[in-house]
Amino acid sequence: LRFLTAGESHGQGLVVILEGMPAGIEVNEEELSKELSRRRKGYGRGARANIEKDDFSIVSGVLNGKTTGAPICVLIPNKDYENWKGKYVPIYAPRPGHADFPGMIKYGFEDCRPIAERASARETAARVACGYFAKKLLQKEGIKIFSWVVSIGEIEANLPPIEERMSKVDVVEKLFQLAELSEVRCPNLEDSERMKKLIDQAKEKGDTLGGIFEVAVVGVPVGLGSHVHWDRRLDARLAASIMSIPGVKGVEIGLGFQLAKLFGSEAHDPIQKPKRPTNKAGGIEGGISNGEIIFIRAAMKPIPTLANPLPSIDVRNDQPCPAHVERSDVCAVGSAAVVAEAMVALVLADALLEVKGGDRW
Ligand code: EPS
Q: Which residues contact 167 (CB under 8 A, 6 or more apart)?
A: 278, 279, 292, 293
Ligand 1 atom with least separation from CA of 54:
17
Annotated binding site for FMN: 118-120, 286, 301-305, 327
Q: How far is CA 342 from CA 337, 348, 360, in A?
A: 9, 10, 22
Q: Tell me the CA–centroid distance for residue 123 and ligand 1, in Å.
A: 9
Q: Tell me the CA–centroid distance for residue 21 and ligand 1, in Å.
A: 29
pLDDT of residue 50: 87
H/E segment holding residue 352: helix 333-356
SS3 298: strand
Picking from 69, 48, 77, 72, the residue whose alpha carbon sits closest to that of residue 60 is 72
Per-domain residue ranges of the chain? 2-356
Residue 69 to residue 328: CA distance in whole angstroms: 38
Ligand 1 atom with least separation from CA of 121:
21
Q: Are 208 and 303 in contact (CB under 8 A)?
A: yes
Q: Tell me the CA–centroid distance for residue 117 and ligand 1, in Å.
A: 9
CATH 3.60.150.10 given to domain 2-356: yes
Q: Are 325 and 305 in contact (CB under 8 A)?
A: yes
Q: Tell me the CA–centroid distance for residue 280 and ligand 1, in Å.
A: 36
Picking from 328, 302, 336, 331, the residue whose alpha carbon sits closest to that of residue 91 is 328
The predicted model scores a pTM of 0.98
Q: Is the CB of 125 under 6 A from ligand 1?
A: yes
Ligand 1 atom with least separation from CA of 326:
9
Q: Is the CB of 9 under 6 A from ligand 1?
A: yes
pLDDT tens digits for 134-144? Answer: 999 999 999 99
Annotated binding site for NADP(+): 39, 45
**Residue bearing the CA closest to ligand 1, atom 7:** 328
Q: Tell me the CA–centroid distance for residue 206 and ligand 1, in Å.
A: 16
Q: Is the CB of 14 under 6 A from ligand 1?
A: no
Residue 233 to residue 247: CA distance in whole angstroms: 24
Residue 242 to residue 239: CA distance in whole angstroms: 5
The DSSP secondary structure of 196-223, one letter per residue, reads HHHHHHHHHTT----EEEEEEEE-PPBT
Q: Is the CB of 328 under 6 A from ligand 1?
A: yes
Residue 67 to residue 273: CA distance in whole angstroms: 39
Which stretches of the chain score pLDDT less than 50? none
Q: Tell me the CA–centroid distance for residue 51 and ligand 1, in Å.
A: 11
H/E segment holding residue 32: helix 29-40
Q: Are 349 and 313 in contact (CB under 8 A)?
A: no
**Residue bearing the CA closest to ligand 1, atom 8:** 328
**Residue bearing the CA closest to ligand 1, atom 13:** 122
Q: Is the CB of 36 under 6 A from ligand 1?
A: no
Query: Could you tell me the end-to-end alpha-carbon distance of the chain, in angstroms, rounded to an integer?
Result: 14
